[in-house]
Structure 1
């Protein structure tokens, strides 16, 4: 080979090596104590080694070496929390008319704000329970790529609804209602199956349906079952055939029971849960996501002109029922997982749900499990999140105190890491 060409090839090889991937940085988290799992006890001083977004090791003491250290010696370190019901692309309010004047793109701006706030509150994974066609999917990508600080997002996209149902636009003139149609309403088993396939095609991680009417929609009726049994079964069967789970907004008892019998995976809200509905859920392994904070948030807005009279009447009607929801579900052996409906109340307050669950008879340990290991199982991600263990995603938070003895300490989170990326110090930020 000509000397010049030989030198050129050697230089190119050196440049290729220089441009190759650098060795992954190892980060040592020096913890005062570690709770690896809601079922475990605090460990005492320990070091968590994080590399390439995952936990490499957890060892007693502070001797393990790394490229960089994070000093959390005065804190309890535990898995990041999981909220199974959020609406990052929206903020609380009764101004339903905004659907007609705000473009979907604005939801990405609002969502970027709320993703950061949610992560700072200690929630490292959320299920986005209904949004515009692309807004939540854009956020999902932004947080995954580290462009936007925020949690891992499991996104549903637009919810499936009957015509005039809770997820269908209503409250306007017929012409405006038609213009704002999301394209995900369906009638009949065949059309409902097709809409599930459409949601899957367009990027949904999970299928969201509104199985009954809702408290905040502009109709005073229809809190019972909306879809027919055949329609619900078609939705569940089609989703499962595509490897997707189904979450059902459901308030009325017969709507809850029908959804459970159809094979829906989780019931969101569950307000009017009765014995028959609870037994249908228990017998089929259907999980309740109670969203107690939703009622807390909307109740704070009563009498302030925030909601229409129709909505205010519905809020007052469900208040006494939500105060016993978790205890009713547990009485019949229904599994309860953590979810809050953030967006109906102010984002960042998610952890207040933990104390509300405890007030209904759950222990601190059970409440913590509901937001970690139980929620991870609901997502089918129990081998990736919900615990601190080698090979798991480095979704890590730190607090002062022991949440197994007082779960309310999780309302103030001092350190957050999502997928191995440190989110800014929570203590220096007020949502």
Structure 2
């Protein structure tokens, strides 16, 4: 029995001028005609081009307008075709509207459906791949697997599962009374750990239950309820144990880190990426560049949750983070630190991920070309997926979007993807004059 999803049905009703053949090999072939194609972000685009997709992968890239009468076709007119976008820092199980007490109300089934809804918004916005770096329970695992086996259509998901943290730290639920906390978040359900041995165990458990990477909260967090600052949480020994164990299992480590000491300690321990990096300093930026550590400079707080909705402790931390926003990007650009695009969607609204491009260009400043590259070529490299993602090249997954103009000149065009294709499936296709 052929499986359908809300997204699949939505794509079929999206009003695109898509000619669909009856079946056979041609039914799995898609021909896309574009006015321009950015095959490798950072390089000059091609002119009028035809891209042929077979079996979910790009099979041919041909100059001009080449017809294949027996295949489905999309004519993008003068629009520009780009690789599908990648957001390396999302949280599908919550949103800016999620409340502290939501876990007392929602079932695992509620969370799964909510995560699917957020994934749908993200895919339709042109983000064909994401890295989910901290969602409650195992609902996100089920969503990832359902996408991979074709049960539902959604973005490609690489996930960490629950973040590893110290007891009572960012990532370990706090702000509720003890009885409620223990009922909703039993210790073996969280990622809390104490000491090198227990932290190594948590890594192995995450790997056992299907994590694609390990996420740690190396410092305090802005959205944590307590006013305990943003300093280093996990000790040097715990950090080293986590990284050594994860790398031994073939898993990368993403470190949530705001305060300078925690950023530096994480880099010295060998984490693969620093998430947020709000108070990155000059010395640590140099160290990151020397070690090849990635920065995922989430700017979601600039474009997300209202401070009036947060507790006084959270409001104070948010205000301070907003005050220094962009400084980390400027330091990283100066010292040639590697970047990958990540929004912290969940803190900021899902489906509005592309708004961060403008913030990166304005706050960095980064060039539009560099910002686009961070969400394609560079993000794919961080994920270890350069052979499959990040560019429009023969043999890669047919993940592509189209916009009405040149994103190298106007990065805000990425906020309005008119066509979204993932694995050769047309998710949305708006037909109107570019």
Give the match for residue 77 of structure 1. 81
Contact 1:79/1:386 (8 A) holds in 2: yes
- CA RMSD, 1 decimal: 1.7
Contact 1:30/1:70 (8 A) holds in 2: yes
- Shift of residue 426 of structure 1? 6.2
1:392 paired to 2:396: yes
Contact 1:207/1:245 (8 A) holds in 2: yes
- Shift of residue 361 of structure 1? 1.6
Give the match for residue 302 of structure 1. 307
1:57 paired to 2:60: yes
Q: TM-score, normalised by structure 2?
A: 0.90
Write the mapping of 1:259-408 to structure 2, written as runs, cut at 5 A: 259-298=266-305, 301-303=306-308, 306-359=309-362, 360-408=364-412
Q: Residues of 2 paired with 1:217 and 1:199: CA distance?
A: 23
- Shift of residue 94 of structure 1? 6.1
Contact 1:295/1:315 (8 A) holds in 2: no
Q: Residues of 2 paired with 1:152 and 1:94: CA distance?
A: 24
Q: Residues of 2 paired with 1:225 and 1:348: CA distance?
A: 32
Question: Any idea what SS the aligned residue of 2:264 has?
Answer: helix
Contact 2:301/2:322 (8 A) holds in 1: no
Q: 1:310 to 1:427 in 2, by over 3 A?
A: farther
Give the match for residue 413 of structure 1. 417
* Counterpart selection for 1:130 from 110, 130, 134: 134
Q: Residues of 2 paired with 1:248 and 1:99: CA distance?
A: 25
* Counterpart selection for 1:235 from 227, 235, 242: 242
Contact 2:91/2:344 (8 A) holds in 1: yes
1:169 paired to 2:169: no
Q: Residues of 2 paired with 1:404 and 1:183: CA distance?
A: 43
The gaps in structure 1 that reach 5 residues or longer are 1-20
Give the match for residue 210 of structure 1. 217
Question: Any idea what SS the aligned residue of 2:77 has?
Answer: strand
Give the match for residue 42 of structure 1. 45
**1:237-289 per-position Cα deviation (integer Å, ceiling 9, x unaligned):** 11111111010111000000000000100111111111232222222111110
Structure index of larger Rg? 1
Moved more, 87-96 or 314-323: 87-96
* Counterpart selection for 1:246 from 240, 245, 253: 253
Question: Any idea what SS the aligned residue of 1:40 has?
Answer: coil
Number of equivalences: 404
Contact 2:299/2:325 (8 A) holds in 1: yes
Give the match for residue 11 of structure 1. none
Q: Residues of 2 paired with 1:422 and 1:100: CA distance?
A: 38
Moved more, 180-189 or 81-90: 180-189
- Shift of residue 33 of structure 1? 1.2
Q: Residues of 2 paired with 1:99 and 1:307: CA distance?
A: 17
Moved more, 146-155 or 216-225: 146-155
Q: Residues of 2 paired with 1:83 and 1:320: CA distance?
A: 24
Give the match for residue 123 of structure 2. 119
- Shift of residue 104 of structure 1? 2.8
- Shift of residue 370 of structure 1? 0.5
- Shift of residue 330 of structure 1? 1.8
Write the mapping of 1:156-195 to structure 2, written as runs, cut at 5 A: 156-179=160-183, 180-181=185-186, 182-195=189-202
**1:292-344 per-position Cα deviation (integer Å, ceiling 9, x unaligned):** 1233213xx123xx111111111112111113221122223322210000111
Q: Residues of 2 paired with 1:176 and 1:222: CA distance?
A: 24
Q: Residues of 2 paired with 1:83 and 1:138: CA distance?
A: 20
Q: TM-score, normalised by structure 1?
A: 0.90
The gaps in structure 2 that reach 5 residues or longer are 1-22
**1:82-107 per-position Cα deviation (integer Å, ceiling 9, x unaligned):** 00001112111362121232223222
Moved more, 67-76 or 189-198: 67-76
- Shift of residue 147 of structure 1? 3.1
